[in-house]
Amino acid sequence: MELYFPAMLDGATGTELVRRGFPGGGCAESWALEHPEAVLELQRGYGEAGSRRIYTPTFGANRVKLEANGVFNRVREYNLRLAALSKEAARGRALVAGDMAPTGLFLSPLGTASFEELVEIYAEQAAALEEAGVDLFVIETMMTLSDARAALLAVRSVSRRPVLVSFTCDENGRTLTGTDAAAALCVMQGMGADAFGLNCSAGPREILAQLRRLSRLAGIPLLAKPNAGLPRSVDGRTVYDCPPEEFASYARDFAQCGVAYFGGCCGTDSRHIAALAAALEGAAVAPCAPDYGGGLPCATEKDAFLLDPGVDAPEPLECGEDLADSIEDALDDGAEALCVRVESLEDAEYFADAQYAVKAPLFIESGDAAALEAALRAYQGRALYSGPLDDSALIPLAERYGLII
């Protein structure tokens, strides 16, 4: 079995900019451009501490977040300028990762955004970061599969560079919107992410527990970028209680469960990164070897499943205005899997409106490749295929959307 060496990421950006004068509550990206010396000092410090992949300070540099802060029509400019700062700080000794984070928009029934709107928003930012010459992309602090899927598809539309994806979750492994991190892993690795992990959330102990669980399902390297413990308020200030030595004490345990990318999130600084680098000196990481127990790894928007490959696709439900009701009726009747027939782009639109109701492994039956792709694009999970299409039509969809053939 081939081993590989740990890759050191950087530490916190937001909390460290606050330490350097950012007042918080406004546009961190604007402040960073007005105070470039703060970014350069921060990121050079990470490089000196051992970071070999530095995140661009573009966490909120998508159109939605910038416009919410009164910055209009400057996505390209902001991403180019902020990425240039990171490249200057890296001095050729670290790779620069184009950072993309949540839009804050939600699909129905939680919100009114369309999935294609999300893809367009992320594609604008990804194109600017690609133009800036980043070495890889990181899609981080994700809370919804819709944002993560849209961002990954957007990056792939403009670049073939590696993409790391990380979600944030609670102590039960669920995101703010209820998605199990295992479902996110299943979907993201099916779509071709180069690594998957968790960032922010809590301290290293809590994230380690979740990554141990995920390691059984991971076929790609894992990533750990925890906070320096859980935040608490002291005299009106937010403080973190996990010092560098304690933070780094978990490093070898992370490596043993397949973590290859190591860093820190809120509350960490260059001391935490230096301690991590020292703790991992001479360490090697074994590639993840998923154990599906013979099952097929599929997922809904909320949950992951290992479906018995002997389960046949059930009688398909027909698309129409009452599709969501039909799905819910089938689930109430105890269906262990669902099947929806999608034979036209109109069918795919009906499916997109109802896909939120899917709470069991899903087969999509279709003889029309364009309709099937439209349905897969809309589905915020990982589906199985049923139908007559051959591999020439299905393999590209498996690679792009994780379709299980």
Contact (CB, 8 A) for 57 and 101: no
State yes or no: pLDDT of 385 exceeds 70.
yes
Residue 1: its pLDDT value, please?
52
Tokens at residue 2, please?
Answer: 């081939």
Q: What is the pTM of this model?
A: 0.96
Residue 275: its pLDDT value, please?
98
State yes or no: pLDDT of 91 exceeds 90.
yes
State yes or no: pLDDT of 322 exceeds 60.
yes
Residue 108: its pLDDT value, please?
83
Closest CA to 135 of 55, 67, 250: 55
Give CATH 3.20.20.330 domain extents, the chain: 7-279
Residue 3: its pLDDT value, please?
67
User: Tokens 């590989």 appear where?
Assistant: 4
Give CATH 3.20.20.20 domain extents, the chain: 296-401
User: Tokens 């190591």 appear where?
Assistant: 262
357 φψ region: left (φ > 0), alpha (ψ -120 to 50), beta (else): alpha
The residues, ordered by sequence, that sit 6+ positions from 21 with a Cβ below 8 Å of its Cβ are 35, 38
Residue 256: its pLDDT value, please?
92
Contact (CB, 8 A) for 284 and 3: yes
What mean pLDDT is reported for the chain? 95
Closest CA to 352 of 387, 330, 331, 321: 321
232 pLDDT tier (thresholds 50, 70, 90): confident
Residue 230: its pLDDT value, please?
84
User: Which listed CATH number (3.40.50.300, 3.40.50.620, 3.40.1160.10, 3.20.20.330) goes with 7-279?
Assistant: 3.20.20.330
Query: Which of 269-273, 291-295, 315-319 shows the lowest mean pLDDT across its residues?
Result: 291-295
CATH code for residues 296-401: 3.20.20.20
State yes or no: pLDDT of 2 exceeds 70.
no
Q: What is the mean pLDDT of residues 279-298?
A: 89
Residue 288: its pLDDT value, please?
84
Per-residue model confidence as pLDDT tens digits over 5-37? 899 999 999 999 999 999 988 999 999 999 999
Percent of residues, the chain, with pLDDT higher than 90: 90
Q: What is the mean pLDDT of residues 95-122?
A: 95
**231 vs 366 pLDDT, higher one:** 366
